[in-house]
Amino acid sequence: MNLSAKPNRAPGTSLGIVLATYAIAMCGTTMPTALYPTLQDGYGRSTAASTQLFAIYAIVVLAVLCVFGSLSDAIGRKPVMILGLLASAASGILYAVAEDAPMLFIARTLSGVCAGLVTGTATAYLTDLVSSSARGASISSAANMVGLGSGPVLAAFLTYFVPSVPMIAFSVHAVLSGLCMALLAMIPDTAAHRGLGLKLSLPLIPRFALRDYCVGGLMTLGFAVMGGCTAMTSILVVRAFGITDLRLLGLIGSLIFIATTVGQKTCGKLVSEKAYFGFAGLVIGSALISLAPGLNGSAAVMVYLLGLLIAGLSHGALFPVGLGIVLRRIEFRDRGSASSAFWVLGYALTALGALGLGWAGQFVGESMAVTGFGVAIALCSAACLLLHRRWTKTAPQGVPRR
């Protein structure tokens, strides 16, 4: 059997299990989002330290993607997914029993290991199953964002309704991770071991696809917004806006992920044809985010949430298109490596956004830091728009455009 050939369309059961597994794995990575103020107070952490707790996750994801990004191409998709879920379950258990800040950082590190192993692998797995780079990018992006968006809500509501069990959300997620491992064991792999020996390597893009990677990479800028706002939103909402209801914090923490998911479904086609709409949306959303801390009362909250909504919709429309561009000419045997290379860029921006905003907040305060962050992202979005127009206009003949 030639395992490097394109597989036949898989049954819906396999597709559903991989989608659910991907979403549940990602759900665990954002569970702390709504709980950052609680963790900050309970463990005596500064704003910078709280955002570092988020950023360490993104940094670990980067490291795992760089070292193990092509692992699923060598040993198969299922083993790598199961390893990621084991890390996820261990992370949940550590969160549930954590007694000090170092244990939180270890738990967060394991969460990053999970995301690093699962993200690129699940993208390649789903692309294999549907035999289409565009559709694979679309559904994997949706699963990613549904999982990320459900994390803050699940953690907030479980903690609110079952306050007698600290960190109950993480215990529940550890159980769900175990269930996913059992389900994965029941379905076929799409890239079984090639018998070539294990050779770890950086996730690389073939030379002929470098232009595609650059064009698609510009569409990942929204990850910086997600990183910064996910790390800071609940702290800003509590400290500057005075909202302390845990349920509201969970919903607000999920807003940008929900908007991103909606943006994929409603605006993706438009942005694939006219990318400037997506970049323009990032400019507008980031500008609104920068304005919010300077306002008072409900106006500040509404403008901030509107900015998150517009930025999320724009990011959701942009990055799946970028992922599809990166994968459109990549052969089956190299999809795991190529998709990991794309996510390396996304998580680098995620870490940069979280760390930059956290460190700035320590020196100038949360409100001023958010204002500067929004202005910086708006300017970068405008620059990406100009670069995108230039690079796509000079695309060589025979290279399909999105």
Local confidence band at 41 (pLDDT 50, 70, 90 cut-offs): low
pLDDT at 239 over 70: no
- Give percent of the chain above pLDDT 70: 86
pLDDT tens digits for range 71-83: 888 888 899 999 9
Specify the pTM: 0.74
Rounded to a whole number of angstroms, the CA Rg of the chain reads: 20
Average pLDDT across the chain, whole number: 82
Q: For the chain, first and last CA: distance in Å?
A: 34
Local confidence band at 399 (pLDDT 50, 70, 90 cut-offs): very low
Hey, what are 63's tokens? 């490291």
Q: Report the alpha-carbon distance of residue 223 to residue 219 in Å, rounded.
A: 9
Give me the pLDDT at residue 139, please: 87
Q: Report the alpha-carbon distance of residue 108 to residue 167 in Å, rounded.
A: 14
Average pLDDT over residues 318-346: 83
CATH code of the domain made up of 12-192+203-393: 1.20.1250.20
Name the residue among 292, 148, 281, 167 with its Cα closest to residue 222: 281
pLDDT tens digits for range 352-377: 888 788 778 778 877 888 899 999 99
Length of the chain, in residues: 402
pLDDT at 106 over 60: yes
Give me the pLDDT at residue 42, please: 57
What's the CA angle centered on 309, arms 39 and 340, to 5 degrees?
70
Per-domain residue ranges for the chain?
12-192+203-393
Give me the pLDDT at residue 395, please: 53
Local confidence band at 9 (pLDDT 50, 70, 90 cut-offs): very low
Hey, what are 99's tokens? 């007694």
Distances (CA, A) of 241 to 166, 250, 361, 368: 26, 15, 15, 14
Local confidence band at 43 (pLDDT 50, 70, 90 cut-offs): low
pLDDT at 311 over 90: yes
Question: Whose structure tokens read 């964002």?
Answer: 145
Q: Report the alpha-carbon distance of residue 104 to residue 54 in Å, rounded.
A: 11
